[in-house]
């Protein structure tokens, strides 16, 4: 692990960085020696607490990557499981430093809730899950159906829009504690469950008989999911944003947790800058210059995270699709690390 003195030196440099906003999240995290991260309650593949206590998933790995960048240690994270309704107030009040919880980027959340989305870590859309034996083939056949839906989500808003647009009668069964939505659906309290399609795949993987449930083909919204910070702390916003770009650029440049030590000797200038072999990009963020090395060594790149969390080899089994890198025809496009 990195020497504390390096962190303190980087932190002191960040106090004098010209033009840097000093709202203090970085300083608080370093002083506490722990990152407070808000996550979902139990969404396998995204954030899930194992019976032995540790957490895993794509959203959890974003928390861990930020902890590796800032503290040199991905295990220095305290997780707070949050319902959709309480997630924003918990972030606004300062009880968490970062919200990494399948949260959709919208105008109102940006402007009215005074939050900043640091990027998109998963491009998704809303769908419907039904029992296969109902024999449905389209969401347009759900007229008059009872739909299980979580309170305080874009899901709820899109559901109303969709039923209104198609002049269908909606009976919504709303639940605040989101795992209750899946339980109510599995119990048969509603005919369909609606959520982000990744969430539906995740819940289905945890059902007693996953094969008995299908996702209907309609994708009724755009759900760009990503980590969120408070307005007013540009330095912290930058750190989270560039940690995500680093994960993506790691994949684009072929740097993995396995080969990162060899890659330090690479003569590719982007790789050199990412790993802190040349330049001072870490210091410009208020971090040690090996921040990128720490992230890629201890977490791996975005592709590695995706594959082990939600990829086709996992029970959640989501193809890369829109979440492929731009060079592979997807939407994942890291800004230039320079």
Ligand X SMILES: N[C@@H](CCC(=O)N[C@@H](CS)C(=O)NCC(=O)O)C(=O)O
Contact residues for ligand X, defined by CB under 6 A: 40-43, 84, 102-104, 150, 153-155, 178-179, 181, 195-196, 199, 223, 225
Taking each helix axis from N to C terminus, what angle separates 291-298 and 234-252, rounded to the nearest 10 degrees? Answer: 60
Burial environment of residue 264 by CB neighbours within 10 A (0 to 12, 13 to 18, 19 or more): middle
Cβ atoms of residues 116 and 237 within 8 Å: yes
Minimum CB distance to ligand X, residue 82 (Å): 7
Q: Which is nearer to ligand X, 175 or 273 (CB)?
A: 175
Q: Which is nearer to ligand X, 179 or 330 (CB)?
A: 179
Residue 74 CB partners (closer than 8 Å, separation 6+): 64, 65, 67, 68, 298, 299
Q: Which is nearer to ligand X, 199 or 276 (CB)?
A: 199
Q: Which is nearer to ligand X, 39 or 271 (CB)?
A: 39
CA dist., res. 86 & res. 70, Å (int):
26
Minimum CB distance to ligand X, residue 26 (Å): 26
CA dist., res. 323 & res. 306, Å (int):
9
Tell me the two tokens of residue 140.
């347009």
Minimum CB distance to ligand X, residue 56 (Å): 13
CA dist., res. 319 & res. 6, Å (int):
40
CA dist., res. 96 & res. 90, Å (int):
6
Q: Which is nearer to ligand X, 122 or 293 (CB)?
A: 122
Minimum CB distance to ligand X, residue 135 (Å): 25
Minimum CB distance to ligand X, residue 133 (Å): 23
Minimum CB distance to ligand X, residue 235 (Å): 25
Q: Which is nearer to ligand X, 44 or 297 (CB)?
A: 44
């Amino acid at each position: 692990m990195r020497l504390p003195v390096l962190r303190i030196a980087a932190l002191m440099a960040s106090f004098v960085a010209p033009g840097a906003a000093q709202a203090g999240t970085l300083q608080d995290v370093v002083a506490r020696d722990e990152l407070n991260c808000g996550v979902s309650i139990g969404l396998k593949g995204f954030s899930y607490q194992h019976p032995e206590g540790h957490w895993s998933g794509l959203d959890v790995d974003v928390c861990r990557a930020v902890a590796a960048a800032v503290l040199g240690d991905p295990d220095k994270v305290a997780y707070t499981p949050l319902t959709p309704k309480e997630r924003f107030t918990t972030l606004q009040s300062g009880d968490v430093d970062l919200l990494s919880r399948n949260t959709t980027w919208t105008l109102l959340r940006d402007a009215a809730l005074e939050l900043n989305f640091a990027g998109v870590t998963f491009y998704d859309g809303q769908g419907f899950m039904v029992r296969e034996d109902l024999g449905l083939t389209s969401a347009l056949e759900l007229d008059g159906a009872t739909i299980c839906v979580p309170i305080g989500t874009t899901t709820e808003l899109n559901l109303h829009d969709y039923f209104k647009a198609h002049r269908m009668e909606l009976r919504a069964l709303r639940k605040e504690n989101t795992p209750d939505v899946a339980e109510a659906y599995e119990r048969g309290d509603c005919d369909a469950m609606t959520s982000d399609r990744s969430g539906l795949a995740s819940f289905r993987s945890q059902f007693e008989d996953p094969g008995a449930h299908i996702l209907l083909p309609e994708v009724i919204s755009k759900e760009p999911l990503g980590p969120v910070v408070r307005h007013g702390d540009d330095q912290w916003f930058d750190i989270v944003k560039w940690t995500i770009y680093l994960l993506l650029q790691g994949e684009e440049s072929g740097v993995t947790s396995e080969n990162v030590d060899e890659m330090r000797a690479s003569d590719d200038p982007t790789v050199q800058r990412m790993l802190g072999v040349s330049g001072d990009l870490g210091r410009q963020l208020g971090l040690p210059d090996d921040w990128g090395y720490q992230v890629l060594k201890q977490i791996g790149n975005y592709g590695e995270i995706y594959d082990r969390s939600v990829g086709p080899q996992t029970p959640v089994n989501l193809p890369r699709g829109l979440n492929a890198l731009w060079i592979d025809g997807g939407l994942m496009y890291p800004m230039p690390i320079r």
